[in-house]
Chains A and B, each alone.
Chain A
Amino acid sequence: MRRIGRKEFIKYGGGLIGLGLLGKFARPSLAFTGVKETKWQAGKEASKRVDGAGTVADEHNKFAMVIDVGACIGCRTCQWACKKENNIPDTVSPPWIEVFEVKSDVSVTGHPSPQDLKKGATTSYTEAPLKGRWYLPVQCNHCDNPPCVKACPVGATYKTKDGIVVMDYDRCIGCRLCVVACPYNARRFNWWQAEIPADETNPLVPVRPLGVVEKCTFCIHRTRRGQLPRCVEVCPVRARHFGNIRNPESEVYKLLEANLGFRLLEEISTEPSIWYITRGKKWLQ
């Protein structure tokens, strides 16, 4: 047998390693180009995975939410219903939904810029609705170009085919890069061990362990089974709407067709799945 010389060994060995690396990284690195919509899940891995509560994504769906900030009265019913539904402990504060109170002298156009939102906005209010204020509920936007998914080093958060950005609590290493990357402050870290009485625990939603990140799941355990998210269900003024944006017959599709809408921080191209409309226009008198 011919002996392989040092130079050849390096040449062929290096080539093999290079090919291996190319194979491993070539496809995911498409992600740098910010390919839109469902390309994010990098095919194979996502289809293997069963996300939240034993459900699998249906490719025909693309979930979206429409929030009518004109109608919202800032009652925070959604916030508390979400907290109960999703087993959010008191130690995770604020819970997944936060409602901001915004002064009415900003954003008369219905397109509040982040600058507008900063002015006079506050999270701590006691009475609502107040005259001359409007309310902005914010939660995970389930972006189509999610900065958190890009940042996650282990794929513990990923975009599914139906548009939901999911967390895998068993894989998360707690590095919190996603929290830093999220421009909407939508992610929460479990600083404490969650303690929820057994009779108040929703069995469909896992209680998160210490040291992992969590966030709104669009109530994956409900919406994948044809129900509405809890926040949409409980809204007393019907300010929240939810549905499949791919279906032209859906409520969300029609609402967006009939109304001018905006999404938060549109200038940074995260392509959120939550639209805001101003149908109520109650502050525009």
Chain B
Amino acid sequence: MRTGIENYRQRLEQTALNPLAQTTPGYYTFVLFLAAVVAWGLYAYVIQLRYGLIATGMRDVVIWGLYLVNFVFFIGISHAGTLISAILRVTQAGWRTPVTRMAELITVVAISIGALMPLIDMGRPERVANLLLFGRFQSPLLWDIISITSYLTGSLIYLYLPMIPDLALMRDRLGDRASAIKRTIYTVMAVGWRNTPEQRHRLEKAIGIMAVTIIPIAISVHTVVSYVFSMTLRPGWDSTVFGIYFVIGAIFSGIASILIVMAIFRRLFHLEEYITEKHFRYLSYLLLSTLFLYLYLTLGEYITIGYKLEEEEKHLLELLMLGKSAPTFWFFVVGGTVVPAILLLIRRGPTIPRIVTAAVLINVGMWIKRFVILVPSLQVPLMPFEFGAYAPTWVEWSITAGAFAAFMLIFALFAKFLPVLSIWEVAEQAETETASSRVTEELRAS
């Protein structure tokens, strides 16, 4: 195997482009499996369309359920990407380059899947156009629609712009290894990129503008997602801290998602040279700090309602901490924050498996946390009704499984058409690093 900086670029291109040209049987099996799960989810949705929302476990008291849990979860992990890659780009953290593409991809896919969830939750999905025809700006749902569509548009542009040089590269390099259709797509999408200084200047300017623009949009998205809940008078939701609480929760589960995706692609596409232990370590620092931020906000949230103990909120806290929701709530606290914190803090054993285990636990914990935010608050009635109960049906679980499968499926397909590494940025970063180390060596020698 050739090593050394001379062949760096060549090797990089080969590693990054190889998966696009070669496909293993394992890949087809995996894609087929995912497609089957998605099809099953679609079948469940057809059942729901036929019988109405009675096919779900939602009823008059607990009027929302799994779909909105998934909505908050997917919009949450969408913050992985764009926000984090934008922040790292704006602060010029050089180590970000091998990670950004994957992070941005998570964003685009997660928003698309997440935005479907409220539509699936609708009682009359065929009237969805009413949202545009009669949309009223007073409703938090309209805020959601506006900010989510802006975020999706913005992050699609932000995913596409840094991809242009790579698309041009594939147009030029893949040659016979790619089918004619693929080559046409690459040619069209590369929009005549010739890597001239003028083009480069413009591209970098555009990326810079998008990076700065996307940060406030991303923050607004999860803020208004939380407003759907906190604009109501429900115990546990009626809170001023919900906006930032959801944003931090989103960044938290977002970073965990990047770590998982990174680990998978590193293994499957042999990216060990580019995604190193360093990347996992750096991101784990970010993960740990958001973990503590999230714990702090969680504590603040419950202590302010627990100290005053208004009637409804007393019921809610009893339900959460001692009652029926206690197992899930405490799983979130222990499995979703305490154990991951220990894993991230005590550096024993192999780094990457340790960090990835923490990331997986965090994401499971955060899904449960969204459930715990949503359902118990609805269980507490505001008039002297009986407490509500909620058990999701197979339809809801199937659609949820379908959504997660669709998420992975889009990822798997994307990885076959476009490189998951930002080739030109990684190469550029490597050149800068070697150049600076050469300077240091020369200085030392003299």
User: Which residues of A approach B to under 8 Å, CB–CB?
Assistant: 24-25, 28-29, 31-32, 93, 98, 100, 102, 114-115, 117-118, 121-124, 136, 138, 147, 150-156, 171-177, 179-181, 183-185, 188-193, 209-213, 264-265, 268
Q: Does B124 contact A (CB under 8 A)?
A: yes
User: Does more than half of chain B's interface fall in helix, strand or loop, or is it mixed?
Assistant: loop
Chain A's closest residue to B56 (CB) is A191
Do A177 and B228 contact each other (CB < 8 Å), given the known contacts A183-B233, A188-B60, A189-B63? yes
Q: Which residues of A contact B63 (CB under 8 A)?
A: 176, 179-180, 189
Do A154 and B134 contact each other (CB < 8 Å), given the known contacts A114-B311, A174-B53? yes
**B371-412 to A contact mask, C-beta < 8 Å, 1/0:** 000000010011111100000000000000000000000000
- Of B12-20, B136-144, B437-445, the one contacting chain A is B136-144
Q: Does B93 contact A (CB under 8 A)?
A: no
Q: Which of A102, A147, A189 contacts B233 (CB 8 A)?
A: A147
Q: Which of B53, B122, B136, B378 contacts A180 (CB 8 A)?
A: B378
B232 touches A180 (CB 8 A): yes
A175 touches B382 (CB 8 A): no
Q: Which residues of A contact B64 (CB under 8 A)?
A: 176, 180
User: Which residues of B approach A to under 8 Å, CB–CB?
Assistant: 52-54, 59-61, 63-64, 118, 121-125, 127-128, 130-131, 133-142, 145, 228, 231-234, 310-312, 315, 378, 381-386
Chain A's closest residue to B388 (CB) is A185
CB distance from A87 to the nearest CB of B (A): 18
B123 touches A173 (CB 8 A): yes
A191 touches B52 (CB 8 A): yes
Q: Which residues of B contact A210 (CB under 8 A)?
A: 52, 123
CB distance from A178 to the nearest CB of B (A): 9
List the 8 closest pairs (A to B, CB-CB), nearest first. A174-B123, A211-B123, A121-B384, A153-B139, A153-B141, A115-B311, A154-B134, A191-B54
Q: When chains A and B are docked, how far (Å) is the Cα of A116 from the Cα of B171?
A: 73
Q: Which residues of A contact B382 (CB under 8 A)?
A: 114, 183-185, 265
Chain A's closest residue to B228 (CB) is A177
A212 touches B124 (CB 8 A): yes
Interface pairs (15), CB distance under 8 Å = A31-B138, A93-B60, A151-B139, A151-B232, A153-B141, A154-B130, A154-B133, A154-B134, A176-B64, A181-B232, A184-B382, A189-B60, A192-B52, A210-B123, A212-B123
Q: Which residues of A contact B127 (CB under 8 A)?
A: 154, 171-174
Instruction: Give the one of A25, A115, A153, A212 with max B CB within 10 A.
Output: A153
Chain A's closest residue to B383 (CB) is A185
Chain A's closest residue to B311 (CB) is A115
Instruction: Give the one of A28, A114, A188 with max B CB within 10 A.
Output: A114
Q: When chains A and B are docked, how far (Å) is the Cα of A171 from the Cα of B131?
A: 10
Instruction: Give the one of B64, B138, B234 with max A CB within 10 A.
Output: B138
CB distance from B280 to the nearest CB of A (A): 41
